[in-house]
Structure 1
């Protein structure tokens, strides 16, 4: 990827971080969007994003647990978010998710 000549690597990192924070804020503002919906549409969810954050920390020698990484995205402990905002997933969505996962297998 070629960045505009006037953007430094430090600025790119800051822009990437700002976009991540905006994505997290957007997800927080749309708690009605369930993780299964995100998985069906985009093949990632809040859990994935939290896991990626934890993996980025590990790459930098920072010890972050899975729950801590996910809490960064959820804005609260994942179990608390689940209890407050997660709805029951329909059998149709579960079937669609399983089909999507099966389609990815070689």
Structure 2
């Protein structure tokens, strides 16, 4: 499929927005579960957004990038939805993604 760069960027942006909306709706899925299964989580997405903003010289704080992904301030999301990680989950994360969170 040959598409121009503008269309490709628009499609990629639409996919990102859909992924973020999906994750916002799945508050039952904990970040540590995402990390252990897929090697990334909501925080990773927000960090990647911050990295992209920094590379473009766009002023975006870590808190702003997290709110863009979570749909609310990160501390609010944690208070509402984040459960305590089990020792097994923490151990699995060390094996799967040793240099993360």
Given the two structures, how large is their TM-score scaled by the length of structure 2? 0.93
Q: How many residues align?
A: 99
Give the gaps of 5 or more residues in structure 2. none
* SS of equivalent residue, structure 2 residue 97: helix
CA deviation profile, 1:1-55 (whole Å, cap 9, x unmatched): xxx22x1100000000000000000000100000000000110000000010111
CA distance in 2, matches of 1:101, 1:54: 20
Bigger relative contact order, structure 1 or 2 (CA pairs below 8 A, ≥6 apart)? 2
What is the distance in 2 between the residues matched to 1:23 and 1:99?
Answer: 26
Shift of 1:78: 0.4
d(CA) in 2 for partners of 1:72 and 1:26? 13
C-alpha displacement of 1:59: 1.4
RMSD: 1.2
For the 8 Å contact 2:35–2:97, the answer to whether it is kept is no
Any residues of structure 2 matched to 1:13-28 within 5 Å, and which? 13-28=9-24
Shift of 1:58: 1.3
- The 5 Å alignment of 1:1-106 reads 4-5=1-2, 7-102=3-98
Shift of 1:101: 3.1
